[in-house]
């Protein structure tokens, strides 16, 4: 299983939209420990909870326009049987003004009774682009 992200969309009010992509191999499943995506000060306290915009899935061999939307963060991500991997894509929004540097912390997973933390994604504001970007 893997998790990645795309560049955030900076909103006019200083907030942002984030997209995370999970790839789950056929026959696998991962249960969320919580369903919250937190925005925190760098390695600090929570400053916002990202709100869900969309959450959908499709197998890698399905056309991109055929997706199944889910109205909330599901209990677990389960791979479909028709493709080698299932793509789970979540889009989140934070409407409040964000600081110049912050972290987005996706929920941890439990896979086969083992708890796995998920990478923390650190973003900062780039004044020359007038947009947030992912730090390396």
What residue ranges in 6-75 does DSSP mark as E strands? 9-10, 16-25, 29-32, 38-40, 46-49, 51-59, 68-70
The pLDDT, as a whole number, for residue 74 is 85
The pLDDT, as a whole number, for residue 79 is 87
Output the six-digit token pair for 23.
Answer: 């790839």
Give the chain's length: 136
The pLDDT, as a whole number, for residue 65 is 66
pLDDT in tens, 22-65: 999 988 888 999 999 999 999 899 999 999 998 888 888 877 76
CB 1 within 8 A of CB 23: yes
pLDDT in tens, 69-98: 777 888 889 888 788 898 989 999 999 999
CA 126 vs. chain centroid, Å, equals: 21
Rounded CA Rg of the chain: 15
Residue 90 pairs with which residues in a beta bridge?
A: 20, 55
Q: Return the minimum-mean-pLDDT range out of 15-19, 75-79, 102-106, 121-125.
A: 75-79
In this prediction the pTM is 0.86
Domains (range + CATH), the chain: 2-134 (2.60.40)
The pLDDT, as a whole number, for residue 105 is 94
**Is the pLDDT at 132 greater than 80, yes or no?**
yes
Instruction: Report the sign of the C-alpha dihedral through residues 73, 78, 79, 82, in that order.
Output: negative
């Amino acid at each position: 299983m893997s998790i990645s992200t795309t560049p955030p969309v900076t909103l006019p009010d200083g907030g942002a939209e984030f997209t995370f992509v999970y790839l789950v191999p056929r026959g696998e499943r991962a249960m969320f420990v919580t369903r919250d995506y937190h925005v925190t000060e760098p390695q600090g306290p929570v400053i916002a909870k990202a709100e869900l915009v969309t959450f959908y899935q499709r197998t890698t061999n399905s056309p991109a326009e055929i997706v199944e939307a889910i109205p909330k963060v599901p209990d677990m991500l389960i791979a479909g049987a028709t493709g080698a991997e299932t793509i789970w894509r979540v889009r989140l929004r934070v409407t409040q003004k964000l600081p110049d540097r912050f972290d987005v912390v996706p929920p941890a997973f439990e896979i086969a009774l083992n708890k796995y933390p998920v990478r923390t994604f650190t973003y900062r504001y780039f004044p020359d682009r007038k947009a947030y970007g992912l730090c390396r």
